[in-house]
Structure 1
Amino acid sequence: MAFAMDEDITDRPSLLESDLSCPVCRDLFRDPVLLSCGHSFCEDCLECSWKHKNTKLCPVCRKNCDGETPIPNRALKNTTESFQKEKGWRITGAPQVICGLHHRDLQLYCIHDEEPICVECVSLHSGHDIKPIDHGVQYCQELLELKVKILADKLESFKKLKKRCNETVNYIRSQSEEAEKQIRQEFERLHQILKEEEASRIVALKKEEEQKTKMLKEKIESISRDITTLTELVQSLRREMTAEDLVVLQV
C-alpha cells in the first residue's frame, strides 16, 4: 500500500509543473497569452474555448473579456521552455490529437466548421452536419482534391495566358522589325530620288549658267565693238576740230 502511495505521489505533477500548465488542456503552456484578469492560457486553447461563443469569458474566473486582445506572456513561455529543457523533454509544436477543451479523443468531424471535434463538442455545433472522423477525412480529401483541381485548372489557364502573351510579344517584335525594314527601304528610295533630283537640278543650273554667260559675253563683245567704233569717231572729230576753220565749215 505504501508503495502504491509512493508511486501515486511520484506520478503527480510537481507544483512548478502545475503552475506551468494551461488550465484548459492541463498540459504545459504552448505560446501562453495573458488576460486582464491575470489568468494565462495556451493561445490555441483560449481561441478554441472562445470559438462560437457570443461572449468571450475567462475560462477560469468567467470575467467578460469582450474587446480584449490577449497579451503574449513571454516570461511564462520562457519559464516553461526552461522547465522542459531541465526535465529533458522535447519542445514540440505538433498539433493536439485530443480536444483542447474537453480532453477527449477527436472522433467526429464538423462539416460546417471543417474541424475535428469530440463527442462533448457536439452541443457546441448544434444544427451542424456531424460525421465520423473517417468520413471527415474522406470529406477533407475530396475537398482538397477539388481545390487542387481548381488550382490546377487555374495554373493551366495561367500557363496558356502566359504562352499567348509571349506569342503576342514575339508577333509585336516581328511586326516592328518588318516595319523598321520597310521604313529604312522607303527612306533609302527617297534618298536616291532626292540625289537624282539634286544632280538633275545642278545640271540644269549649270546649263542655264553657261547659256546666260554666253549671251552676256556676246553682248559684252558687241558693246566692246560699239565702244571701239565710237572711240574712233570721237577721236576723228577731235582731230577735225583742230583743223582750219574752212575745213570745219565743210564738215
Structure 2
Amino acid sequence: MASSFKAELTCSVCLDLFQDPVLTRCEHTFCRRCVLEFWSQQQRNMCPLCRKVCPSALLLRNRVLDGLLETLRQRDKVQLCSDHLLERSLYCPEDQELLCCQCRDSPRHRGHNVLAVADARARYKEEIENTLKLLQDRRSKCDVLKTKSDKYIAKLQDWARQTESQIKNSFRKLHVYLNGEESSLIQQVRQEERESSRKLQDMTKEVFQQLRVLQNNIQEVERHMQDGILDLKGLKDIQARLAHTLPTPVLIMHKVPFGKFAGPVEYKVWKKLRKLVDTVPMTLSLDPDSAHPSLEVTADGNTVRLSEQRPSQSACSRLALEPCVLAAQGFSGGCHYWEVEVAGEGWALGVGSRTALERGRLALAPQAGNWPLTFRGGAYECFYPLHTLVADSKPRRLGVFLNLERGYLSFYDARKMSHIFTVPSKSSEHLYPCFVPPSSGESLSIAHCECWEDPDSDPGRM
C-alpha cells in the first residue's frame, strides 16, 4: 500500500516526488518544469503519457496534491522511511540504522535487538555528547593551528618581502657602483686615447713638413745634376743650407699607459668595494683577561689554544662549563661579521655575555645567555634548537654573522659562504664573540683578510 501510495506521488517524467505539480488538459499530473522541458524538445505540446495536444496556457496548479506533498515534507522532518513512507521510530544498534515498523519485521533486521528512538537516544546520549565534545575539541585545536599557520604564513611572506627588498637594495648598490666604475675607467681610457692621439698627430705634422722640405731639396739637387751645372762649390752651399734649415727628423713615440688599464682591473675594483660593503670581515682581538687559566692566548691577541694543563671535563660537553676566551670587542646593536681559522675537533664558536662568564668558563646553552656552534665527530652541533649537521669536509675557516637589529646569529663555511646554522640571538646585555679552542690541542685563530682592511677605519668599528 505504501509503495502504491508513493507511486501516485511520483512524476512519470523525473520519477521523483512532484515539485510544483500541475494538471494538463487531459488531467494528467507532472512537475511543471518536467512537462515544460518535455514540450521544449517536441514540435507540439503533447502529454508525455497519452500524447494528446495540451496548450501550455491550460497548465493548472494541482493544489490538493501540492498540499499533500507539503504535509509529507513536514513528516519527513520526523524521518520517514523511504521504502514504506512510515515514521522511522525505531533504532537498530547492530546495523546502526533508524527503522520503521515494517523494516523491523523484514528479514534483514529480524532477530536484532531493536530499540525505540527515544530509548536509544537516552542510552547513547552520553556517548554522543562525548563524541561531540571530542569533535569540538579537535575543531578548536584545528582552529588554533589554522590561526597559527595563518600568522606564520603572513610572517613568512613579510620576511620574504623584506629579504627580497634587502637583496635588491644590496645588489642595486653594487650595480650602481660597478656601473660607475666601468664608466669612469672607460672615460679615462678615452681621455688617454685623445691626449695620446693629439700628441702623435702634432708630431706627425712636423714630420710631414720635414718630408715636404726634403722632397723639394731632393728635386733641386736632381735637377742640377741633370743640367750638369752642379759643381763642388754649389754642393757645399746646398749642404750648408740644408744643415741650417732642416734638423734631423726624429719621431718621439708617446708612452701609452697600457698597464694602468690592462692590469688586474677586477681585483682593484674589488678592493675599492670596502667603502661600499657595510658588513665585511672585521678585525677582532682576544681579551686575555677573560681567558680561562688553562688557555694560552698569544701576545698579539689573535690565537688561543689549550695549555698543557687541560681542564678535567671534556671540551664541548652539553652541560659542563667550557674554558673559553671572549673578544675584547662587544656589541649592543648593528650587524657584525668575523671569520675564524679552525682545526681539529671539539671547538666552539658563538657569542656570549660577560655576566654569563664564570671564571673563564661558559655554559654552551642559550638559556645561559650564550649561543654557540660546536664541531665534534665530523658534525656541527647547535643547541638552539638542538640539531646536528654532518660536515661534508673538515672545516678550515668559519664566518660568524651577528645581526642584532633582527636578533639572529648565523654561521657560514667562509670558503664558499655556504650557510650552516642560524639561531635567534637576543640579549639586553652586550654580546661578545666567544671562542672555545679545540679539545684535540690545535689552535684557534681570528682570521684577517688584508684585502678588506682600511687604514683609515677603526678595526673595532663596523
Q: Name the TM-score, length of structure 1 as normaliser.
A: 0.52
The question of whether the paired residues in 2 share the 8 Å contact of 1:111 and 1:136 is answered with: no
- In structure 1, distance between residues paired with 2:138 and 2:114: 26
The question of whether the paired residues in 2 share the 8 Å contact of 1:84 and 1:90 is answered with: no
Deviation at 1:185, TM superposition (A): 1.6
Could you say which residue in structure 1 is the equivalent of 2:176?
188
Could you say which residue in structure 1 is the equivalent of 2:219?
231
- In structure 1, distance between residues paired with 2:88 and 2:228: 160
- In structure 2, distance between residues paired with 1:150 and 1:198: 69
As a proportion of its length, which structure holds more strand?
2
Change (3 A) 1:85 1:237: closer
Tell whether 2:83 aligns with 1:95. Answer: no
Q: 1:236-251 maps to which residues of 2 (within 5 A)?
A: 236-241=224-229
Could you say which residue in structure 2 is the equivalent of 1:135?
123
Between stretches 143-152 and 189-198, larger displacement belongs to: 143-152
2:164 to 170, 176, 187: 176
Deviation at 1:197, TM superposition (A): 0.9
> Which is greater in Rg?
1
- In structure 1, distance between residues paired with 2:158 and 2:133: 37
* Equivalent position SS for 1:161: helix
- Per-residue CA distance 1:65-114 (angstroms, 9 max, x = gap): xxxxxx945469957x8546568x8554343289998x7995x7665655
Deviation at 1:178, TM superposition (A): 1.7
The question of whether the paired residues in 1 share the 8 Å contact of 2:9 and 2:17 is answered with: no
As a proportion of its length, which structure holds more helix?
1
- In structure 2, distance between residues paired with 1:75 and 1:86: 11
Deviation at 1:236, TM superposition (A): 3.4
Could you say which residue in structure 1 is the equivalent of 2:2?
22
- In structure 1, distance between residues paired with 2:110 and 2:193: 107
Could you say which residue in structure 1 is the equivalent of 2:149?
161
Number of aligned positions between the proteins: 182
Could you say which residue in structure 1 is the equivalent of 2:187?
199
- Per-residue CA distance 1:199-221 (angstroms, 9 max, x = gap): 11111111221232133223223
Could you say which residue in structure 1 is the equivalent of 2:337?
none
The aligned amino acid for 1:182 is S
The aligned amino acid for 1:95 is K
Change (3 A) 1:136 1:113: farther
The aligned amino acid for 1:157 is L
The aligned amino acid for 2:2 is C
Change (3 A) 1:41 1:228: closer
- Please list every run of 5 or more consecutive structure 2 residues that lacks an aligned counterpart in the other structure: 22-28, 30-61, 231-462
Could you say which residue in structure 2 is the equivalent of 1:218?
206
The aligned amino acid for 2:134 is L
- Per-residue CA distance 1:212-250 (angstroms, 9 max, x = gap): 2133223223222322322332343355459xxxxxxxx
- In structure 2, distance between residues paired with 1:116 and 1:207: 105
- In structure 2, distance between residues paired with 1:125 and 1:144: 31
Deviation at 1:181, TM superposition (A): 1.6
Deviation at 1:172, TM superposition (A): 1.8
The question of whether the paired residues in 2 share the 8 Å contact of 1:116 and 1:133 is answered with: no
- In structure 2, distance between residues paired with 1:125 and 1:188: 90
* Equivalent position SS for 2:2: coil
- In structure 2, distance between residues paired with 1:156 and 1:177: 31
Q: Name the TM-score, length of structure 2 as normaliser.
A: 0.31
Q: Matched residues, percent identical? A: 11
* Equivalent position SS for 2:196: helix
Could you say which residue in structure 2 is the equivalent of 1:59?
none
The question of whether the paired residues in 2 share the 8 Å contact of 1:97 and 1:105 is answered with: yes
